Structure 1
Amino acid sequence: MIISVRRGLRFIRFIIFFVALVYLFYHVLDLFNGWISPVDQYQIPTGNAVKVFQETDWSGIGEARPTMAERLRLFYWYGE
């Protein structure tokens, strides 16, 4: 069996080049991931911002309890 040094060096050079490109591609995708990922909605507000929410007690007298379809529509409308 004949082992060629040139072919071996060419293969090693290919592997090094391939690993370098994979490393570069990974960091480019990581950069885009940081840019595309959504902002944390539940972080503590800063500045003049105030975080508010409303807890609804549906057991009140005279109030009609919303149906599951209305609650689902409200969920999709707010997008949360």
Structure 2
Amino acid sequence: MIISTRRIKQWLTFLILFVLFTLLLYQVMSFFTDMFEPDSIYKEPIGDAVKVFSDYGRQTSQATFSELVRERLLWFYEIGE
């Protein structure tokens, strides 16, 4: 079997270019990801924000936690929100 040096050179050129372009694409994607990422995902919301959940342990009503969860699930299944 004869191995051509021209063929080896073509494969090495392809491999080197592939690796370089892959690294370039990674750097471009990383740059855009950092540019569009919010500053702090845990900061307090500004404006007309609504609290999504409440602390069921501190409520003074007679309903137990399981009854409250069941009621919330029924609301979810009825109106889908």
TM-score normalised per structure 2: 0.53
Could you tell me which runs of 5 or more consecutive residues in structure 1 were left unpaired when the two chains were aligned: 44-53, 73-80
Could you tell me which runs of 5 or more consecutive residues in structure 2 were left unpaired when the two chains were aligned: 44-50, 62-67, 77-81
Structure 2 residue 60 is the aligned partner of structure 1 residue 59: yes
Residue aligning to 2:7: 7
- Higher RCO, 1 or 2 (CA under 8 Å, sep at least 6)? 2
Q: Within 1, Cα distance between the matches of 2:32 and 2:24? A: 13
Identity of aligned residues (%): 29
> Between Structure 1 and Structure 2, how many residues are aligned?
62
Matches within 5 A, 1:1-80: 1-43=1-43, 57-59=58-60, 68=72
- Provide runs of 4+ in structure 1 moved above 6 Å: none
Counterpart of 2:6 in 1: which secondary structure? helix
Cα distance change of structure 1 residues 41 and 12 upon mapping to structure 2, 3 Å threshold: closer
- Structure with the larger helix share: 2
